[in-house]
Structure 1
Amino acid sequence: MSVITKAIQILDMLVPQGSDKEVSVTTISRELDMPVQSVHRILNSLSEHGFVAQNQKTKKYKLGLSIMKYGFLMWDSLMFRSISRPFMEELSRHTKETIYLASRENTEGVYIDSIDSPQILKISEPIGLKLPLFIGASNRVILAYMPQPLRDAILSEADWASHPSLKPLTREYIEKDMELIRSRGYAITDGEMTEGTTGIAAPIFSYENTVIGSLNCAGPSIRFTPDNVEKYSFFVKKYAEQISKELGYRNLYRIRD
């Protein structure tokens, strides 16, 4: 049995059943048929990373705050997707293009949900696709509404010589584009992530008034005529704002220094 499997078994044993639960090393050893020394070693490692905590009086162990942190992150992600889905469906109905929901993971944007276009010619990127925040409409619109220090840090560390964009990008270009994004409330890019495609994205804000993701409409550039861009951007912004309101966002956005 691997150490990881043993650690998971120990964590499962510490899961509360209606109330806080503390378990001794000897009980864990007996119930899981593990040597006491092995249990001590695994608990020490889990404790170092906050996954378990020891009661200094009883010397028993319980689940730590790190478990709660990851649990809340997963809950937030699931809630984000479930709240956004009806609005994604409405956007799909109005545009007939592929719809993506994106969120931020450190310095990258990642697709966490999508609805494919019903048309034969369409764009279809995989869920889980990650790209730097300065590439593509769905990512750049998130970057544009992040606090200035974070934006500067991300752009300062960007590898402009070997980024994965299909088009050459510079910091100066990204800075100017983000100004435009903030002035009109949405981002639009052409052929940066996939050749011959256009994307329009608007930011989504949380109850903490911080940008947490974006709603994106994407498809073949040939269909993104000026009239359609005006139409699609209206609906993308509309439904992104409605998702934000459902998530508890109530205040007007203000860029924080």
Structure 2
Amino acid sequence: MSGVISKAIQILDLLLPHGTEKDMGVTEISKALGMPVQSVHRILSSLSEHGFVTQDPKTKRYKLGLSIMKYGFLMWDSIMLRTVARPYMEELSRLTKETVYLSVRENAEGIYIDSVDSPQILKISEPIGLRLPLFIGASNRVILAFLSPSIQKSLMDSFNWDEIPALKPLTREYIEQELMNIRQKGYAVTADEATEGTTGIGAPIFSYENTVIGSLNVAGPSIRFGEQNMEKYSNLAKKYADLISNELGYRGRSRQE
């Protein structure tokens, strides 16, 4: 299997444009890479099925497909998100004196991709790369809440509700009601779900395509998240998430207008 994957990568590399669009025939690719024609044809068929290459029906020549562009844009979005978000994260942490996280979605999970630690001795400090199902924690649940209804339902159907890695019982009915509340408020709040004695506030970040691509989160010990701070931190999280979204090219109407 690894040999086939290696050959597929070689073919994709060969079809990479250099200034102008590049297309090649099966025999041409076979000679360039020293691969049997049948092998090249078989690999191209598989790549074509998944949109990584496309074949011109007239010339029968192949070029890179839209799937390559899609994954390229996803990677670019991730890099851009971290670059754009960092100064806002630092400002949000300075104003709240709490830990601030940046999260993104990968399939049915949310992942921390950056953080700014609280300057206080008692603080939350979760590792970058931490993964949890999208229905656990404010940082993840707010992403789930703003996904399209079809994607949201598909993800909800895929979760194993009998084996939930949370510190408190969570049911599908409870989460569905929570998602409705989050969409109305524009942010999510959770406590004692991933880590005992902690509270998190998450606000959604949207891309230039007007789709949710991540969340900005304030997290800390629950004893510091009283009613007054909860309102202040929620407003700040929404404000800075909106600023990040706007800088990424989000064209939707700001929740604060």
Residues 172 and 13 (structure 1 numbering): CA distance in 2 closer, same or farther, change over 3 Å? closer
Residue of structure 1 in register with 2:89 after alignment = 88
Residue of structure 1 in register with 2:200 after alignment = 199
C-alpha separation between the residues in 2 aligned to 1:147 and 1:60?
37
C-alpha separation between the residues in 2 aligned to 1:149 and 1:43?
31
Deviations 1:140-196 (A, max 9, x none): 222333445554554455433221111111234334433443443322111101122
C-alpha separation between the residues in 1 aligned to 2:87 and 2:189?
23
CA RMSD in angstroms comes to 2.6
**1:79 match: secondary structure:** helix
The TM-score with structure 1 as length reference comes to 0.85
Residue of structure 2 in register with 1:112 after alignment = 113
C-alpha separation between the residues in 2 aligned to 1:156 and 1:60?
41
CA contact (8 A) 1:209 1:253 kept: no
Residues 46 and 184 (structure 1 numbering): CA distance in 2 closer, same or farther, change over 3 Å? closer
**2:43 match: secondary structure:** helix
Residues 26 and 150 (structure 1 numbering): CA distance in 2 closer, same or farther, change over 3 Å? closer
CA contact (8 A) 2:242 2:254 kept: no
Matched, 1:145 2:135: no
Matched, 1:190 2:191: yes
Return 176-185 or 66-75, whichever deviates more: 176-185
Matched, 1:56 2:42: no
Count of aligned residue pairs for this structure pair: 254
Counting aligned pairs with the same residue, the percent is: 69
Residues 33 and 245 (structure 1 numbering): CA distance in 2 closer, same or farther, change over 3 Å? same
CA shift at 1:99, angstroms? 1.3
Structure 1 unaligned residues grouped into runs of 5+: none
C-alpha separation between the residues in 2 aligned to 1:113 and 1:43?
38
CA shift at 1:14, angstroms? 0.8
Residues 71 and 149 (structure 1 numbering): CA distance in 2 closer, same or farther, change over 3 Å? closer
Residues 146 and 71 (structure 1 numbering): CA distance in 2 closer, same or farther, change over 3 Å? closer
Letter in 1 for 2:164: H
CA shift at 1:225, angstroms? 3.3
Residue of structure 2 in register with 1:241 after alignment = 242
C-alpha separation between the residues in 2 aligned to 1:244 and 1:189?
23
The TM-score with structure 2 as length reference comes to 0.85
Structure 2 unaligned residues grouped into runs of 5+: none
Residue of structure 1 in register with 2:102 after alignment = 101
C-alpha separation between the residues in 1 aligned to 2:61 and 2:251?
44
Residues 171 and 23 (structure 1 numbering): CA distance in 2 closer, same or farther, change over 3 Å? closer
Residues 115 and 65 (structure 1 numbering): CA distance in 2 closer, same or farther, change over 3 Å? same
C-alpha separation between the residues in 2 aligned to 1:47 and 1:145?
32
Return 1-10 or 174-183, whichever deviates more: 174-183
Letter in 1 for 2:27: T
Residue of structure 1 in register with 2:230 after alignment = 229
